[in-house]
Structure 1
Amino acid sequence: MSELTLFRASILHFLRDPGEAADDRAWQYWEDGALVVESGRVVACGPEAALLTQYPQAKVVDHRGKLLLPGFVDTHIHFAQTDIIASYGAQLLDWLNTYTFPAERRFADRVHADNVAQFFLDELLRNGTTTAAVYPTVHKASVDAFFSAAEQRQMRMVCGKIMMDRHCPDFLQDNVASAEADSRELIERWHGRGRAGYALTPRFAPTSTPEQLAMTGRLFAEYEGLWLQTHVAENVDEVRWVADLFPDARSYLDVYDRYGLLGERGVYAHCIHLDRADRERMAATGTAMSFCPTSNLFLGSGLFDLNRARELGVRVGLATDVGGGTSFSMLQTLNEAYKVLQLGGQKLNAWRGFYLATLAGAEALYLEDRIGNFLPGKEADFVVLDWAATPLLERRMQAAQSLEERLFALMLLGCDRVVAQTYVLGEPRLPAG
């Protein structure tokens, strides 16, 4: 959108983590707010009256009565698992063999990959998610399909070919040489093209040989600005398996550390069964965690410890982890995050919840200089939420006594139905009606 445009709504964004104490200096809120956008970037954000006066020439888009937030950031999700979401009765390792690997086999077919990528990205937008760190499959076609579909929508996305050279079906297995060649080709084609960022993606330590992990570490060091994404310490049986496969490593996380896979733009999903030394090492290296509450509950994996990670200075983003996760909605994911933390004796207030879904995700992906809030110059990705999208929400809002109470109800009762519009670079992406 090159035209100067002013969006009127109630506006909330975050400047840092509000913490359990809900530090009110960590966010800005305007009940009568305005967001000014030009050429896909934020020009200004603040009180409606002042900005209407300052920018009288701006086209006005009226969302008054609704809440405008930065677009949600999902730090861990599998686009190739879209069709197996809500598959019954398995924990992690059985889930992979029973559902995941057979589904991923189909992505050798570019037509299938294109079809799923189109649906997947539309579903993200329908749920208000504008940026995600995404897992395709081992096939180059799945990466090309995904980035092509994201480019059509101008979405900022991180993705990269999965690498597996052992402990997986033959039809999904690569090798060190082919994984390196494919990754280099895809990096050259996609990394830094438009809003695309490439992520080296060894699925998890058990499915990569030491040689493949070492090769991944070399690529991570060689190419400037790459991301790296994988899984760690999700399930107790998985942790035991890694200990058997890598007996010289101090811990599961240490396996990755030995091959140079920790560092800025490294994003590790789950991080449940870690000790203090692991968390301190993640903090020291700038490696981020993805908190995946719906999949951790669905697969019976365990409870994430948010407070310990944040107290040690680890970057933490929220994630749906579809298809082990059970919803594309970051609001539903916040609902489950609240419950996970309750079971662990921790609290998740509404302020910190919406921080996790927006700026924290940008920080976990090292994209906070581009997205995550409405500071001038940021890319104008945002979502408009309807406080009264369902009869229950409407009634609950009438009973709410404060903004915090309204936000908390939205966090617990919200879903895709509350998303009135999603904007990417200032342009609406949901069809009217």
Structure 2
Amino acid sequence: MNIPETKFPRIVVIGGGFAGISFIKKLEKAKVQIVLFDRHNYHTFQPLLYQVSTAGLEPDSIAYPLRKIFRKNHDFHFRMAEVLKIDTESNTIFTAIGTLRYDYLVIATGTRTNFFGNESIAENSMPMKTVPQALDIRSLMLQNIEKADITTNAIERKQLLNFVVAGAGPTGVELAGALAEFRKGILENDYPELDEDEMNVHLIEGLDRVLPPMSKQASKKAQEFLEKLGVKIHLETFISGYDGKTVTTKDGKRFETATFIWAAGVTGALINGIDGEALVERANRYKVDAFNQINGFSNIFALGDIALMTSEEYPKGHPQVAQPAIQQGKHLGENFKRIFKGEKMKPFNYFDKGTMATVGRNKAVVDIGKLHFGGAIAWFLWMFVHLWFLVGFRNRVITFFNWTYSYINYDRAARLIIRPFKRG
């Protein structure tokens, strides 16, 4: 691997998500060599993936080149490759393009979709963790509506216009709301031969309320918003399988659908080579201390979704969302500066800035401490926060323009089947 030798400490970072980029940015002027590995050459703003999948935004609105982010970093190197294994004895990583030794290793690989061992769901459903997957959902959605517009078979049309989303966390709620708004704003104008009432959006959740991680007030308000949009909510319902045509549940329900989106769970994206006491198997996360050091290692750290840092306040670890990842990345960067100065590291303390989810136009819910509210104010706050945390000025401008256009015209301009989806 053609990484130049260096007299400075070499820090290898695996993963260009929120945690990884926050960490590297903090070391912009530090006398270190940083090597970043990621399977993609861009950072993805995952909170807005659902807008790409529902034709609200183009992918370049939420993706940003990793090399461009770190242009000002001294001795920074990016390699687009998958890391296959870690040898902790020799301080070496094995990748698809070769091996590399490290002085320090920072793992920020995030999560992958969890199908809970159900092969039929894994094979036939549509996950949404990456930009390509979001584009596949967009293409499939639009392709199925186009097919429904020309078919004369009523049963086939019903299946093509039935959209089922599994999981009523923030991603599932936002997806369902966006699909319902697509029906309301686009179907009657672009497809006059189709009846708006023929398109149905189902949201299935195993627990007894939508948005389980948020407050009960937020859950209640979000459910009201969804139902007002016409989303059919099925609580305390567990999915048993999907064969590509029919979603079946454990209590005997059947949903005939050609579009089944799986947003029901994630699991840690682990790398071979670190196990034993360092790995919490039930969560698929690395056990870390208050300094984000993986148990049993002094020079290997984990950040964000892949890290399990427990405390009295967070006995199951921090929530697997953007803010803990960003804060841990920044804090570890500061701790590395202390390490290089010969100072002691400081423990991490998470500052909960609140949780929010949007359901649709002028409809969102927000939890900030003991404050819970929803509606238009929450929606504008959601928009501002997401614009603020987008990486890159261009991305913010494009996204703001798209949202303004959609707000004024009730339109979704990205209704393009650029890359037709074909299963298998």
Q: If you compute each CA radius of gyration, which structure gives the higher value, 1 or 2?
A: 2
Give the TM-score category using the shorter length.
under 0.3
Relative to the length of structure 2, the TM-score reads 0.24
Structure with a larger share of its residues in helix? 1
Relative to the length of structure 1, the TM-score reads 0.23
